[in-house]
Chains A and B, each alone.
Chain A
Amino acid sequence: MKLVRAVLALVAIVIVAAVAFTAYAWFIVRDGKETGAPQPAVAGAPASITDPIARGEYLTRAADCAACHTVPGGQPFTGGLAFKMPFGTIYSTNITADKETGIGDWSDDEFVRALHAGVRKDGQPLYPAFPYTSYTALSRDDVLAIKAYLFSLPPKHAPATPNELSFPFNQRWGLSVWNALFLKKERFQPVQGKSEAWNRGAYLATALGHCDECHTPRNAMYALKSSQALSGEVLQGWKAYNITPDKTYGIGNWSEQQLADYLSKGHAGGRGTASGPMGEVVQNSLQYLSQEDIAALVTYLREAKPQQGSAGTEVNERPALALASTANAPGAEELAQGGLGQHLFQGACAACHAWNGQGRQVEAAALLGTQAANDPEAHNLTQVILQGSTLRTMHGETSMPSFGQAYTDAEVAALGNFVLVHFGGKPATLTADEVAKRRTP
């Protein structure tokens, strides 16, 4: 009996503690820590831009608001993009100045609170698909510049699509507990002893660009694992690669020029071309950053903590089969082996990518040295084959057609495996079943 009593007492204590914590979480959920919290002495937009709306536009691009709040081909910032997660689907909302369906009647304080505390106008918590965990570090001035820019655009009546979430994830109050555990409501503070460029890069990469939200692995509670920052993660079927300065698994061997080119143009010679969600980041956001800001981002990434990957994921810069090929044909031995993957590559791919991986008419088609051809799980390779890829920047447009409709799962797997073996020297591990799953990430 004593034991039962002790267990009951323990359970009661746990319940009381949980209730108390929840009450505490709910009590602080709307607090954006505006008063008393020091405002960062940084501004996200270059000093050379003086017009407030132009500053807001620069910041809105740097924060890549359009990526989530715009559906492909739709009017910018009217929302409606679906985010499929294991526990349901969330839709982004209209952030134009429409009074009824957008944010037209939000006050400055309410907008700032949304970005700093992750709550909407009525005080209900927002889902952390909205990266307020990053935006909380933004200065009030920068947040209000973004608001001024959004309010300068034509308002659009676009009612929100209701989220489709299962219980208990449809209970917004529960997010207050998540916030109490994982949201640090702190503005960005420049780190003493680091260069101005580093601090600027840090503000751009964390508070504005929120690189972490895709490139850092998450724990079981969907919070970022800060100990593994920027070491790479898979989401919505695409792999956000390791972007730490590790020389084997990250971007440690990339030159300054390659990093700057990749960020600002979406392509780095000998390294690869941004596609999928990263292509969108370049298209919507990074291409508009000033040269100094791109250089600042490079400085910051260079000094991040190097993170190792698992063995076998390193980029093979000298894959034997690609090196034995000319632009027109593979080596005689490989050619004699034949196979479905080789046959498909020959018919549909070689004209642009070339057998030696150098790319033919456009540099973007070079496969040698790319992470896509070296990821043994072939995440991005599969998605690019299935969906194609288009990169539209002020430097022009490059695109690859999609083959998802043309090829069966077995054909996509065979083609993917050919690319892994030929251009990455990796084992052929992609299966038709896996391709079938990835058609609907």
Chain B
Amino acid sequence: MIVLNINGESRSVDVPDDMPLLWVLRDVIGLTGTKFGCGIAQCGACTVHLDGAAVRSCVLPVSAVGSKAVTTIEGVGASAVGKKVQQAWLDIEVVQCGYCQSGQIMSATALLAATPEPSDAEIDVAMSGNICRCGTYVRIREAIKQVATGQKVAPQTIPNVAPTASPAAAAAALLSFVRVEDMA
């Protein structure tokens, strides 16, 4: 029995020591938000956090996790930085097909937690292990900059809705935005 701390919860799993963490997350625990890409740490789709650092779970034997806290895409929104990253991703609609994006968000969050105001070069170097076949790189960089600076430079797809607003108000705001787009 191996005990893992995943997204703040203690989970016991009965798996071989050398099973990659990714398999444990997806096939044993059922957290399928983390994706399998290449299986050799070359694409970044399987990125999760170990004590806040981005790691590739496809090549990480579960026995090497120990007592370190595992955070997956399902739990990243619980941290302040993670929540901001998610919001920025929504605001400028980074996602296209989406397969790589849980990995992208995990890498971006780890970067911003360690380096709150990364330069373009630092963003490129930290994010280059995460491959996106749709080519959303430009929007990924803009979203990271938006979190870092708090300034909305890129076109915002979904207008921010105050948390207190009713669903109806949110829908109205969205509707008005769509109309503006249609007219443009």
Contacts and interface: CB of A to CB of B under 8 A. Distances in A.
A327 B41 CA distance: 16
Contacts of A336: 121
A360 B53 contact: yes
Interface residues of A, number: 24
Contacts of A360: 53-56
Interface in A298-347: 326-330, 332, 335-336, 346-347
Interface in B15-51: 17-18, 40-42, 44, 50
Nearest to A388: B40
Contacts of B79: none
A185 to B, nearest CB: 45
Contacts of A362: 59-61, 64
Interface stretch (B108-116, B134-142, B146-154, B168-176): B108-116
Contact of B125 (A330, A396, A397, A401): A330
B60 A361 contact: yes
Contacts, number: 69
B121 A361 contact: no
B77 interface: no
A326 B114 contact: yes
Contacts of A335: 121-122, 125
A350 interface: yes
A230 to B, nearest CB: 33
A346 B126 CA distance: 8
B105 to A, nearest CB: 15
Contacts of B121: 335-336
B122 A361 contact: no
Interface string B99-133: 00000000000110011000101101110110000
B63 interface: yes
A348 interface: yes
Contact of B59 (A329, A348, A361): A361
Contact of A351 (B56, B114, B119): B56
A365 to B, nearest CB: 9
B129 A327 contact: no
Given A360-B55, A396-B63, A328 B128 contact: no
A401 B42 contact: yes
A165 interface: no
A interface, over-half SS: mixed
B46 to A, nearest CB: 10
Given A347-B128, A360-B55, A361-B59, A329 B41 contact: no
B153 to A, nearest CB: 23
A352 interface: yes
Given A360-B53, A361-B60, A396 B18 contact: yes
A332 B117 CA distance: 14
B75 to A, nearest CB: 18
A351 B41 contact: yes
Contacts of B53: 327, 360
B109 to A, nearest CB: 12
Contact of B122 (A329, A348, A397): A329
Interface in A383-413: 396-399, 401
A335 B122 CA distance: 8
Contact of A328 (B59, B64, B115): B115
Nearest to A358: B53
A61 B111 CA distance: 47
Contacts of B44: 351
B111 A328 contact: yes
A362 B124 CA distance: 23
Given A335-B125, A350-B129, A328 B110 contact: yes
A360 B52 CA distance: 12
Interface string A366-397: 00000000000000000000000000000011
Contacts of B40: 399, 401
Interface of A: 326-330, 332, 335-336, 346-348, 350-352, 355, 360-363, 396-399, 401
Q: What 3 A-B pairs come out closest when comparing CB atoms?
A: A351-B129, A396-B18, A361-B60
Given A352-B56, A355-B125, A397-B18, 11 more contacts: A326-B114, A327-B114, A328-B126, A350-B125, A351-B44, A360-B56, A361-B41, A361-B50, A361-B55, A361-B64, A362-B61
